Chains A and B, each alone.
Chain A
């Protein structure tokens, strides 16, 4: 490729043609401030509206300033990133943005984690001229089961729109209205709840300000913990342990499983369990369902529809129910691990410890916002008592731990409680894209072939590519597996299924980038996709270190079937661990 020589702040640099000034400056270690721009390299997602105008620079011979995020270098260009003119313009623009932003930082959910706040610090903003008489744009507060939209705080960076449209292809958020009244909102300015939103939370994950946040349930958790009449049970999703440390200043990818258990115990949870246990259970049910469908398919049963789709991601389930309701027979009927856990905790375990389900509170710690919605679904409750009472995110857990004056790094490692705290390595890798299908493969292979699987690591199923496909040899029978993370990628696979063009036997889908490790409830990655990779490494390392790596070998799972459920897919299993899907298309935009 052609290379281009230019000068930035008096220093020469040579970069490939087509590079932006912003990236060329980075080569020199010059960090031009950016606000709306976001480049999630590994996901091929770039948000480049050129809207905030914070990254402007002076280009010799050009009339006005250029936005460096979106202006390409040219041979011989002379760029200044810190001239008087640039600094004044940048500060003035920042003052303008702040002049239309609420000043309630002290009580904002994003405080300390806000890109706008950081920018104000970086640019040394000390006052906002004319604030006394500056009108502020306002918008109604919109609360949904998972997400709060407080658009007074929106700076129109359009990152959420990019995630929702380009990455997820959900199309729930678009810029609406004009000028000073512009905001990002669902069509017809409906509330999010009445839009096609899947609650994947990817908009929340990238919002630089407090305009989009999760519905916070920490105070409900604290109340439950302080209610002496309640037995409070907590389950932690696999992705949480690979990211929680970041909230306490640890390197991305630091595993904090043991410290997290310790912290939960100190917070006062009566039983600290692991969603990974339920992930193993999911494999038993989903794997059996897959094998059943596969066997019937091979035998020529025309009623059987393949591919089978995984169903453990509630964001994906929401997407499916809105966008492909006509194919609602295809996904596995297995509930998500969160819901399987809740159901077993409030039946099997409640009986075991002789507690009425009404006196038991099940809290889940999830990397996910869709789980907040999922646990409120009517079908996941018994007589109005939900199987999972509250779902809180990794970020919310971090707040709880900090409020309890605990420093995660200084806590000793501790073990999950039995029986619902024991899991195999297969349950752990549910957190990463490809992990669910890998876990299923480990079990399905052994059941199908009757042989012992020697090599449990299916490297061909791992990775960060948006859509991956792999063939797995089931002793002469080739199984075609498709994997997608991100709903836009899922859509591509589903459109093939719909058109009858899909060659897959099974497809795993996760709504979030990288799978749950990149969930909408995780510590914010601030646009750095390498963090997701580090978390994935941590997950696979945890799997490697586990003595048991196949779900069906988990002794507590075996015991659960022996004592309570009988067989996978038994009647009882159906009642407690399976679900059905709805046509939600009709519900959209109906208030």
Chain B
């Protein structure tokens, strides 16, 4: 999706920090970035601040990681700076594996220098001279722009030896990911960088103690980095003035689904879902009713009407049974079947589980199978208890964040839309009309003229009725091929 989608969305209620330059500057010209105060923060920090002071600024700003977990960035930098080692690394996590997410890509394509500047700042703070950007190979434009930006920055002396005439030396290289979702998890990412199988390992040790090649490594997300230079320029106090008590600044969301305006939005923490969906997003498409919103990517939870006025921040989303994740936001309307939605997301996690730990490897598969049974009319009431228990155990026992969150779509839909599960299981009905196996072909008596076209089309002879009399479909014989619906010229055959 082109960066241009940004401008199509109403800017009201939005604050642009991470996206401040996107669509505004020419990302291939370092001069454009410099004109907008680019590399000023780096120059200022190198000449005026000790690493400790600079880390203090980040801590005071209250910024937390935008990659999902929301860990305080200043604290992370402090850990890395205190880890004793000759060699340390700064890593930018640009794996962006959430389907439908493109905030990191937009930043890298629209404003690559801000990430480079932030990584150099981080290098100064923690005492590292080498940075790596781990980027998925499927982002060729972002890669090209990063390459251009890196060579420009080297030319201008913002990367390389004695930056701004100081003793500080820093350079950045690219590493390419093969696009596995779990490779975005920081330990898996580091293993992948090392050429090993991209699977997570237990923490501790955290990367800040033992990361790339066993050296202290600071891993941050693209969007996190994009905030850093501005924090130095405008001050910690300014930044912490935005947002809620525990979640400062802004968050970029990829608004998608059944809303009128889709695309990236950058909003202050503390904004409500209602404001995002109805004011910025312009409400539900085609005048339909709002049903749910899923935040946090494939393993986020589905929130409902009752959550619409909750201020969005890390803690609140978790309390509602979802999470911030990397900022996916998918809106659903009355035509969406929540059981199918849960199954859809589980399908993704089953594909993306790395296979290392048993609850995630096998458990998610079993969750999927249960959901599939329910969607195809084979579900029984005890299956719902099993779904819940399995979900809870998978969350409770999985090794990494993927398994620890993958049941969220199931649990949140069980909690918020239990009645839909029950009607799938007990009445064998899918109210939203999504689960094909639960639908039946039905002839509306009033519309039927008795032309017999349907009866002649039916390959299994499931339709009976006298000529010129309303016809009837025998649901036990019907194989749901849809031939009757196609043949009927009077809109008498429906799926219900």
Contact = CB atoms under 8 A, between A and B. Distances in A.
A65 interface: yes
Identify the interface centre among B197, B199, B201, B355: most chain A CB within 10 Å of its CB.
B355
9 contacts: A51-B356, A53-B358, A67-B202, A92-B389, A93-B363, A97-B358, A100-B365, A174-B197, A179-B355
B369 A135 contact: yes
Given A92-B390, A130-B369, A50 B202 contact: yes
B354 A179 contact: yes
Contacts of A411: none
B422 interface: no
A70 B396 contact: no
Contacts of B359: 53, 92-93, 96
Given A72-B204, A93-B363, A182-B355, 17 more contacts: A50-B357, A51-B357, A51-B399, A53-B398, A64-B397, A89-B396, A92-B389, A96-B358, A97-B358, A99-B362, A100-B362, A134-B366, A175-B199, A178-B353, A179-B353, A180-B365, A182-B361
Contact of B352 (A72, A96, A129, A178): A178
Interface in B345-398: 350-359, 361-366, 369-370, 373, 378, 386, 389-390, 393, 395-398
Contact of A178 (B180, B362, B397): B180
A64 B396 CA distance: 5
Contacts of A70: 202
A65 B396 contact: yes
B362 A180 contact: yes
B400 to A, nearest CB: 10
A212 to B, nearest CB: 18
B326 interface: no
A181 B180 CA distance: 15
Interface residues of B, number: 36
A129 B386 contact: yes
Given A99-B362, A180-B362, A88 B369 contact: no
Contacts of B370: 130
B404 interface: yes
A177 interface: yes
A46 B356 CA distance: 17
A181 B355 contact: yes
Identify the interface centre among B356, B363, B386: most chain A CB within 10 Å of its CB.
B356
Nearest to B365: A180
Identify the interface centre among A56, A65, A92, A179: most chain B CB within 10 Å of its CB.
A179
A165 B398 CA distance: 25
A49 interface: yes
Contacts of B398: 53, 64
* Main DSSP-derived SS at the B contact region: helix
Contacts of A134: 366, 369
A444 B278 CA distance: 92
A65 B362 CA distance: 18
Interface of A: 49-53, 56, 64-65, 67, 70-72, 85, 88-89, 92-93, 96-97, 99-100, 129-130, 133-135, 155-156, 174-175, 177-182
Contact of B358 (A85, A133, A135, A156): A156
Contacts of B397: 53, 56, 64-65, 89, 93
Nearest to B400: A50
A99 B395 contact: no
A73 to B, nearest CB: 12
Contacts of A71: 202
Interface string B444-482: 000000000000000000000000000000000000000
A178 B180 CA distance: 10
Nearest to B370: A130
Contacts of B201: 49-50
B54 to A, nearest CB: 31
Contacts of B204: 72
B386 A130 contact: yes
A236 B246 CA distance: 72
B358 A93 contact: yes
B393 A88 contact: yes
Interface in B306-358: 350-358
Contacts of A53: 357-359, 397-399
B113 to A, nearest CB: 35
A67 B366 contact: no
B399 A177 contact: no
B355 A93 contact: no
A430 B448 CA distance: 92
Nearest to B355: A182
A72 B204 CA distance: 9
A56 B180 CA distance: 27
A156 B356 contact: yes
A133 B396 contact: no
Contacts of B180: 178
Contacts of B199: 175
Nearest to B196: A174
B403 to A, nearest CB: 9
Given A130-B369, A130-B370, A175-B199, A92 B393 contact: yes
A179 B399 contact: no
Contacts of A133: 369, 373, 378
A222 B398 CA distance: 48
Nearest to B382: A129
Contacts of A178: 180, 351-355
Nearest to A158: B356
Contacts of B393: 88-89, 92-93
A50 B396 contact: no
Given A49-B356, A88-B389, A179 B396 contact: no
Contacts of B369: 130, 133-135
A99 B369 CA distance: 12
A179 B358 contact: no
B361 A180 contact: yes
A20 to B, nearest CB: 11
Given A53-B397, A89-B393, A130-B386, A175 B362 contact: no
Nearest to A157: B358
A49 B360 CA distance: 14
A89 B362 CA distance: 14
Identify the interface centre among A49, A52, A85, A96: most chain B CB within 10 Å of its CB.
A96
Contact of A179 (B197, B202, B351, B389): B351
Contacts of A175: 197, 199, 355-356
Nearest to B356: A51
Contacts of A64: 395-398, 404
A420 B353 CA distance: 58
Nearest to B354: A178
A431 B369 CA distance: 52
A179 B350 CA distance: 6
B366 A99 contact: yes
Nearest to B360: A179
A180 B350 contact: yes
A99 B398 CA distance: 17
A49 B201 CA distance: 7
Contacts of A89: 393, 396-397
Contacts of A100: 362, 365
A180 B355 contact: yes
A93 B395 CA distance: 11
A156 B386 contact: no
Identify the interface centre among A65, A156, A180: most chain B CB within 10 Å of its CB.
A180
Identify the interface centre among A67, A130, A134, A135: most chain B CB within 10 Å of its CB.
A130
A179 B386 contact: no
A177 B197 CA distance: 10
Contacts of B399: 50-51, 53, 67
A88 B370 CA distance: 19
Contacts of A181: 355
A56 B199 CA distance: 20
Which 8 residue pairs of A and B lie closest in terms of their CB atoms, listed nearest first? A182-B355, A179-B353, A92-B393, A96-B362, A53-B397, A50-B202, A180-B365, A179-B355
A93 B366 CA distance: 12
Interface string B176-189: 00001000000000
B355 A156 contact: yes
